[in-house]
A and B are shown apart, each in its own frame.
Chain A
Amino acid sequence: MVDHHVEIEQLVKTYPGAQKPSVDRVSFSLPRGEMLALLGPSGCGKTTILRMIAGLIAPTSGAIRIDGRDVSAIPVHKRNMGMVFQSYALFPHMTVARNVSFGLEMRKVGKTEIEERVKKALDLVKLTGLGERKVSQLSGGQQQRAAIARSLVIEPELLLLDEPLSNLDAKLRDEMRDEIREIQARTGVTAIFVTHDQDEALSMADRLAVMSNGRLEQIGTPREIFDRPQTDFVATFIGAGNFFSGKVREPGVAEVEGLGELRFSGEAPTGSSVKLMVRPHRLVLDGTGAAGVNRFSGTVEHIVYRGQTLTLTVRCGTQRLQADLPTHAGVLPEKGGEITLAVAPEDVTFIEKAAA
């Protein structure tokens, strides 16, 4: 409990006049120095959560605690948060340096110290020497950096980033992705960033909180989220997958209609209905003939060449499977050919909280 830096508990926000809550009983917590991604489709309530944490809007109910202290009575300008807005929201009438120093001026920090800290912050985000530029003279990436510097210079309790990369072009996005991660690691600031892009979330965050329709679906490390999705939504939202409905015949073995027996990992009571998922890249061409592995034989219906991988659609019984095979995997299958695909039971995920 004590080692949780930030705690969100049963947070609810219903906008005035709205039929249903935009954020519905969301709880999660972060240890100090963690970077958490709030991931979900647009409109699921991510920004709303961020704005409640910042104090820009008041929660309908629930608590936000920092170091165990409820902050709901603290007005926004005294919460000591840093926030990077989607549109950066730099002050257009000030120079870059004045933008960065703004928070320090508001905190009545001495002049010389302000100068020092602004310079350090600009160095940190690689804007050295650009302090006297006007905001409009910066490129998109530089504006982004300036916005980050403005937030970090005040040594905030928590850094909030709302879709920080969505306004950048693809190349810059990759660059800033690493950069933000590095800056966060270097400063050790606890951070929450919002995104609807799964790659971004998976590659930047220590942990992911996946949201849908105002509810928290699952929270966990990128690996857990990707390999062990607990809900239908998480399984379908993140990555591609082959989904099967089946009945558990004995522990670890399910009967899937039109496909046959499927061994999986995870514990499901015998006789229950289960939903299982296999990621396309976990399916391999069966060459080993090892025992205890699931095997499916079928006809290749469709092939899409994607450079490093080949995406196959294979008809097995009444099911269609999608498989991503590495293009360097020796003899490649051809359209219309018969192949056998294999997958290990530990790569067959049992989706625990799937709707029946």
Chain B
Amino acid sequence: MNQSTPFLGRFAWRTLLVLLYLFLLAPIIIVFIISFDTRQYLAFPPESYSFGSYAKVFANPTFISAFGRSLIIGLVVGLGAVAAGMLLSLSLARHEFRGKGSVNFLILAPFLVPHIVLAVGIMLVMAPIGLLDTYAGIIIAHLGITIPYTVRTIMMSLMSVDRRVEEAALVHGASPAMVFWRITLPLVSPGLIAGGVIAFLISFDEATISLFIVSVRTSTLPTEIFHYLEYSTDPQIAALSVILILISVGVVIAVERLIGLRRAL
């Protein structure tokens, strides 16, 4: 059918697609350009280019420490969400029990509730027990929103593991624990890694819930950026944004290289 398309129609269609892609990627492209502007204030187009904004970001103790916290929180959340997700997935994929439907619902439910509503609720729960603005508080909150994702990716991996392979290991002398360590775990590892990466990225980029829970002590990078943007839009934020984007893309590319993302997702 493409052959018979009149040239003009095809040209218009391609142009439309290019424009839409440009719109979709515009903020990222613009942020990238602005981050190299030498000036101290937001303006376009940049006068001249330099790494000045990047230097300022690295010299900014607020951003650096928030970045460190975000990293730690993201890593702990990634690991925790994978561990909890693995256990939940195992119980759902390998066991029959009463109330399985409810557990399934409970795991999917956080997808069905706006994060801002959860944020207020979590804040209300954590306030009286002193979890607000603590690592424990923010990590637990992020676990709640990331576990549904890890369960999903790990479940998919687990479903693709042939039960006969596990049975073959059992028959040939592996105890159930051995089957788990030597067979099941290695076979679902792509799902584990993918789930962990997703959980890390969600935690690392998350602003809504964090804004309700953290304050000065455990502010994360997204919350710091949010508060900064309430007053200023200077190119420092652009540089920081580029760094954030590069980290996310870097993590994804690393995973892709390591295990192949298509297989992992």
In this assembly, does A168 line the interface, its C-beta being within 8 Å of a C-beta of chain B? no
Closest to A80 in B: B173
Using known A-B contacts A89-B164, A92-B165, determine if residue A83 contacts B174 with beta carbons closer than 8 Å.
no
Closest to B163 in A: A89
User: Do B170 and A56 have beta carbons less than 8 Å apart?
Assistant: yes
Residues in chain A near residue B182, CB distance under 8 A: 102
User: Do B175 and A77 have beta carbons less than 8 Å apart?
Assistant: yes
In this assembly, does B47 line the interface, its C-beta being within 8 Å of a C-beta of chain A? no
Kindly provide the distance from the CB of B164 to the nearest chain A CB, expressed in whole angstroms: 4
User: Do A93 and B186 have beta carbons less than 8 Å apart?
Assistant: yes
Residue total for A at the interface (Cβ-Cβ under 8 A): 27
- CA distance in complex: A154, B170 (Å): 13
In this assembly, does A54 line the interface, its C-beta being within 8 Å of a C-beta of chain B? yes
User: Do B172 and A82 have beta carbons less than 8 Å apart?
Assistant: yes
- CA distance in complex: A77, B171 (Å): 5
Residues in chain A near residue B178, CB distance under 8 A: 77, 106
Using known A-B contacts A92-B187, A93-B186, A93-B187, determine if residue A154 contacts B172 with beta carbons closer than 8 Å.
yes
Closest to B176 in A: A77
Residue total for B at the interface (Cβ-Cβ under 8 A): 18
User: Do A77 and B167 have beta carbons less than 8 Å apart?
Assistant: no
User: Do B168 and A76 have beta carbons less than 8 Å apart?
Assistant: no
Contact of A76 among B170, B183, B186 (CB under 8 A): B170
Query: Which of A77, A78, A107, A154 has the largest number of chain B CB atoms within 10 A?
Result: A77
- CA distance in complex: A91, B169 (Å): 8
Residues in chain B near residue A40, CB distance under 8 A: none
Using known A-B contacts A85-B164, A89-B165, determine if residue A102 contacts B172 with beta carbons closer than 8 Å.
yes
Closest to A54 in B: B171
Q: Tell me the interface secondary structure of chain B in the complex.
A: helix
User: Do A87 and B162 have beta carbons less than 8 Å apart?
Assistant: yes
- CA distance in complex: A147, B175 (Å): 19
- CA distance in complex: A123, B176 (Å): 30
User: Do B171 and A56 have beta carbons less than 8 Å apart?
Assistant: yes
Residues in chain A near residue B176, CB distance under 8 A: 77
User: Do A103 and B173 have beta carbons less than 8 Å apart?
Assistant: yes
- CA distance in complex: A87, B176 (Å): 21
Contact of A87 among B164, B172, B173, B183 (CB under 8 A): B164
- CA distance in complex: A90, B171 (Å): 12
User: Do A102 and B187 have beta carbons less than 8 Å apart?
Assistant: no
Residues in chain B near residue A56, CB distance under 8 A: 167, 170-171
Contact of B165 among A77, A82, A91 (CB under 8 A): A91
Residues in chain A near residue B169, CB distance under 8 A: 91, 102
Residues in chain A near residue B164, CB distance under 8 A: 85-87, 89
User: Do A154 and B173 have beta carbons less than 8 Å apart?
Assistant: yes
Query: Which of B's residues lie within 8 Å of A, judged by CB?
Result: 162, 164-165, 167-176, 178, 182-183, 186-187
Q: 14 A–B contact pairs at CB < 8 A?
A: A77-B176, A83-B168, A85-B164, A87-B162, A87-B164, A91-B183, A102-B169, A102-B172, A102-B174, A103-B173, A106-B173, A106-B178, A147-B168, A154-B173
Report, nearest first, the 4 A-B pairs whose CB atoms are least far apart.
Answer: A106-B173, A89-B164, A103-B172, A89-B168
